[in-house]
Structure 1
Amino acid sequence: MTTTVAQAPIVTGSPLLGSMSDLLNDPLNAYLRARRDHGDVVRFRAGPPGLRADLYAVFSAEGAQQVLATRAADFRKDNVFYEELRRSVGNGLLTSQDDVYLRQRRLVQPLFTRRRVNGYGQQVAEEAAALADVWRAAPGGSVELVGEMHRFALHVVGRILFGTDVKQAFETIERTLPQLQEYSLKRGFSPFKAPRSWPTPANRRAVRLQSELFGLCDGIIASRRDREDGDDLVTLLVHAENAEDGSLDADELREQVLIFLLAGHETTATALAFALHLLARHPEEQGRVREEVDRVLGGPGGRPPTAADMEELPYLTMVLKEAMRLYPSAPVVGRRSVADAEIDGVRIPAGADILVSPWVTHRHPDYWPDPERFDPARFTPEAEAGRPRYAWFPFGGGPRACIGQHLSMLESVLGLAVLLREFELTDAQEGEVPLGAGITLMAKGPARVRVRARS
């Protein structure tokens, strides 16, 4: 007896553009509505008649596991968005594939062992203490979390990557990277994109920004070639080699540095900003975290945290995980199928663009009762063991899981520990923080809190 495989239900949009407007203007709610109305596998049709493209979306934990892990070889990073990002910031670990990816991963992996990453705890603690000094002088005791956490995360990742050159790099990085991301995203969605070789204003600006960013990275890399004793990641990358894979050439070095900058500061900044935002709105949870931090580190002005303290801060870690559930830094992850597949009883044809969405799966009522409620107790060891593995996947999964996830957790836990030990936070935000989805989750407005230094 044969089993009939269903076709994915089509999410209807406007007669002129299909679902394109929804996916461009409000993608997060478009994905949530699609799951609610049509189920765990849906098909968006976007674009004008005659130029429409299909986009399959998979929302179940089991489906996400197939795409990212158990059938990862059948779902590749060949879609238009990765191609645009690849052409903007290079073919580093985030965008490379096949033998290129495997070679890069083998060369870079020793730089991200738990032991080596734990050695960066001092830099994280020092940058958090410097931020606390800035907050003590904040006008009116008010700070805007999104901008503050982006600067903090960029300081940390820049210091770990670049060492003493970090201050010279900040202005260039903050100005160029976001604009190149936006340019890549718009080109990925557009059915009418001019070739990059055409001298349009957008193309010329992108070339100028890319040249400036590449020049910055090349200069820093060149300064590390004669050094043997540095512990920053650029120096380690310059000297990374093994018998099987050789070493990274100049282009590969630059591409890895750019990917670490892109993925290394924005994702952590999002987790930090929304963890603090949620704690400011939930004073009882904030108090419980602070009691734990005070017990481990001493009260205000206590000792700096270290990587060894992470195991002693389980409730803070639960809060962070719950913040990453509600505000995953990568709200969608794209792939392209290279073979026919069946997911949750629905056919996915070869050649289809497909996405999985932590934003939606992290709110799926089958795994998360009352999913919009902030509840760190969802991440007790017992609760985690009772859920499917891919009900929570803020760092992706499978063979392409984020290589820097332990560094991100170290930075987030230690940074939060310092700030919550030194300050009490109260909400100063009117309404919810408006959100959008680009390559990462984007706050489209402020997340403001008041901070009061603890004596």
Structure 2
Amino acid sequence: MNTPSELTFTSVLKWILLLMVLLFIIVYNWKRRWLYYYALKFPGPFGLPLLGIVHRFRHGPAAYNTIMKPFNEYPTGFSCWVGKDLYFGISKPKDIEILLNRCLTKGKLYKILHECFNDSLVVAPVGAWKERRKAFNKAFRPTTIKSFFGKFVKGAHDIVSNLNKKHGGESFDVLQEIWPITCEIAWTTLAGVDPNLLDGPDQFMSDVIRYQQIIHQRFWNPLYHSNFFWRRSALGREAEDLHKRTYDFIQKIVENSKEHDSGDVTENYFVNLLIRMRDEKKLSHEEMLREMPFMFTAANETTALTTSAVLLVLGMYPNIQENVFEELDTIFEKSDKDITLGEVNKMDYLKRVIKETMRLLPAVPFILRTLDQDVQIDSRFYPRGSEIIISMPHVHQNAEVWPDPLKFDPDRFLPEASKNRPRCAFMPFSYGVRNCIGLQYAMVSMLIMLSTILRSYKVTSSIYKRIEDIDFQHYVVAKPKKGYYISMEKRIK
């Protein structure tokens, strides 16, 4: 006799739960109504209900060009949904300049880097970022970089010593010869640590490469964007192990780093700044350690990638390579003379070659920001809470700004050719106050390495013959799928 009443109670409970779910959905979507409204104001690719364009991710890395295709289809901008998040693809330099100046919060997708970089400078909330950036600037100001000069020169000679074993027509991936040395340069310049005193630098590099591969897989599996599922996956557990090993290595660097006497420019080594901030209670010990992996990785990997890319490109275009050599031959009276700062400042053509390489082969493929305020640009409105994505190759190869965009032409960066160009038409180090802190560090170190190499060797590209031939694999950074394979011939002195 109790069955009807029990069924009635169960039914009522189900209806209550259903109504609560419906109420939640209504309230949730009502709060986001402006996102839906303004998304419809933009053209964009087809998206599934609730999923948006997530279904395109099912093809993995092969879908990269498909996902980025809207930048070609809608050159003035588009909107799309990735799950519950609204993204605006931005290509116009004027819009990019406004958005990057006003919105400093890093995009939500950067959370997939959290295990490695936590809340370090690259992904820190705006408040913490402002305080730390101001303090860290001391490690990258001109006087500090000038003090690194001897270390840059030594690293350049170490690279040439490695390359001496490679000349004679043998094809090899030059990144594998340059990257270990840029790692050593980073440890000596940012921490004042002798790499020979460190145990495990090779393991550190291997861990960085493996971590990038894991993050690559995480990016292409939307289920893994959720920390709940990620931390319970085999890849997530492997990433955690890599994270622990990285911090053990970073701790060794701290232990080997020593404070320098006050007044010595080396007191502003990056690690020494962190140690002082920790001692002054501006950072905890854990926060201090969190800052190091990204800064060391950014200082050595992107520099190695760009240096390798320049050599690859010069191997494709021997006439430009000879122009570089002629400039260097004019600057240096003696072929075996070490480089000085004054000579670096005279390398105008080589600087333009580096910039043109970064335009066509940017190491960082995109920029992501979260809009923490409403932004109106002309007739377009970007609502707070949405995300913006900026594709560097599409910005750098915009035919309206860069005529014949795939042509490699260093003279694009002559002063007279650059003066009327929009500021955000070229931004390999990002743009605005939250740009890359190591811009000058990277440029000076690359000029020293490249000039030292190119005074000793002629370079030929082994696989690629044109820029158009290069197919990229996009990890945290972008790399040619077939590597940076070149061959080298010793220059006759």
Q: Same fold (TM over 0.5)?
A: yes
CA distance in 1, matches of 2:373, 2:247: 36
Larger gyration radius, structure 1 or structure 2? 2
CA offsets 1:255-308 (integer angstroms, 9 cap, x no match): 2221212221222122111111111111111111101112212354x2121333
1:452 has 2:458 as partner = no
CA distance in 1, matches of 2:332, 2:281: 44
Contact kept? 2:187, 2:193, Cα under 8 Å: no
1:440 has 2:461 as partner = no
CA distance in 2, matches of 1:310, 1:356: 32
Number of equivalenced pairs: 441
* Counterpart for residue 322 of structure 1: 356
More divergent stretch after superposition (162-171 vs 323-332): 162-171
CA distance in 1, matches of 2:343, 2:63: 40
* Counterpart for residue 96 of structure 1: 124
* Counterpart for residue 72 of structure 1: 103
For residue 273 of structure 1, the aligned residue among 300, 308, 328 is 308
1:209 has 2:242 as partner = yes
1:222 has 2:251 as partner = no
3-state DSSP class of the match of 2:369?
Answer: strand
CA offsets 1:108-151 (integer angstroms, 9 cap, x no match): 11111111112212111111111112212116443312323323
CA offsets 1:333-382 (integer angstroms, 9 cap, x no match): 10111233344643333221211122110000111000011000000011
CA distance in 1, matches of 2:131, 2:463: 46
- Per the TM alignment, residue 102 of structure 1 is displaced from its structure 2 partner at its CA by 1.4
CA distance in 2, matches of 1:21, 1:381: 46
5 Å matches for 1:59-208?
Answer: 59-69=91-101, 71-73=102-104, 76-79=105-108, 81-138=109-166, 140-142=168-170, 143-167=172-196, 168=198, 169-193=200-224, 195=228, 198-208=231-241
CA distance in 2, matches of 1:153, 1:434: 25
AA of the residue aligned to 1:97: P
3-state DSSP class of the match of 2:222?
Answer: coil
TM-score, length-normalised on structure 2? 0.82
More divergent stretch after superposition (57-66 vs 249-258): 249-258
Contact kept? 2:162, 2:177, Cα under 8 Å: no
CA distance in 2, matches of 1:318, 1:222: 40
- Per the TM alignment, residue 199 of structure 1 is displaced from its structure 2 partner at its CA by 4.5
- Per the TM alignment, residue 182 of structure 1 is displaced from its structure 2 partner at its CA by 3.5
Q: Specify whether residues 196 and 372 from structure 1 end up closer, same or farther in structure 2 by C-alpha distance, changes over 3 A only.
A: same
- Per the TM alignment, residue 309 of structure 1 is displaced from its structure 2 partner at its CA by 2.1
Contact kept? 2:117, 2:291, Cα under 8 Å: no
CA distance in 1, matches of 2:460, 2:230: 50
5 Å matches for 1:283-302?
Answer: 283-298=318-333, 300=335, 302=336
AA of the residue aligned to 2:388: I
- Per the TM alignment, residue 321 of structure 1 is displaced from its structure 2 partner at its CA by 0.4
CA distance in 2, matches of 1:145, 1:363: 26
TM-score, length-normalised on structure 1? 0.88
CA distance in 1, matches of 2:43, 2:405: 24
* Counterpart for residue 438 of structure 2: 404
Contact kept? 1:165, 1:220, Cα under 8 Å: no
* Counterpart for residue 256 of structure 1: 291
Gapped regions of structure 1 (runs ≥ 5)? none
CA distance in 2, matches of 1:358, 1:111: 27
3-state DSSP class of the match of 1:56?
Answer: strand
Percent of aligned positions that are identical: 21
More divergent stretch after superposition (409-418 vs 128-137): 128-137
CA distance in 2, matches of 1:190, 1:356: 21
Contact kept? 1:84, 1:185, Cα under 8 Å: no
3-state DSSP class of the match of 1:292?
Answer: helix
CA distance in 1, matches of 2:295, 2:246: 13
Contact kept? 1:330, 1:441, Cα under 8 Å: yes
CA distance in 1, matches of 2:148, 2:278: 24
Contact kept? 1:306, 1:414, Cα under 8 Å: no
AA of the residue aligned to 2:79: R
3-state DSSP class of the match of 2:389?
Answer: strand
For residue 337 of structure 2, the aligned residue among 303, 309, 325 is 303
* Counterpart for residue 28 of structure 2: none
CA offsets 1:35-75 (integer angstroms, 9 cap, x no match): 332222112344xxxx4654321011112112212x235xx
Contact kept? 1:111, 1:236, Cα under 8 Å: no
What is the RMSD of the two structures over their aligned residues, measured on CA atoms?
A: 2.8
Contact kept? 2:191, 2:257, Cα under 8 Å: no
3-state DSSP class of the match of 1:35?
Answer: helix
Q: Specify whether residues 126 and 278 from structure 1 end up closer, same or farther in structure 2 by C-alpha distance, changes over 3 A only.
A: same
AA of the residue aligned to 1:152: I
* Counterpart for residue 35 of structure 1: 71
More divergent stretch after superposition (22-31 vs 200-209): 22-31
Q: Specify whether residues 283 and 13 from structure 1 end up closer, same or farther in structure 2 by C-alpha distance, changes over 3 A only.
A: farther
CA distance in 2, matches of 1:197, 1:425: 44
More divergent stretch after superposition (302-311 vs 114-123): 302-311
1:55 has 2:87 as partner = yes
Gapped regions of structure 2 (runs ≥ 5)? 1-36
1:10 has 2:41 as partner = no
Contact kept? 2:193, 2:256, Cα under 8 Å: no
CA distance in 2, matches of 1:340, 1:247: 32
3-state DSSP class of the match of 1:350?
Answer: coil
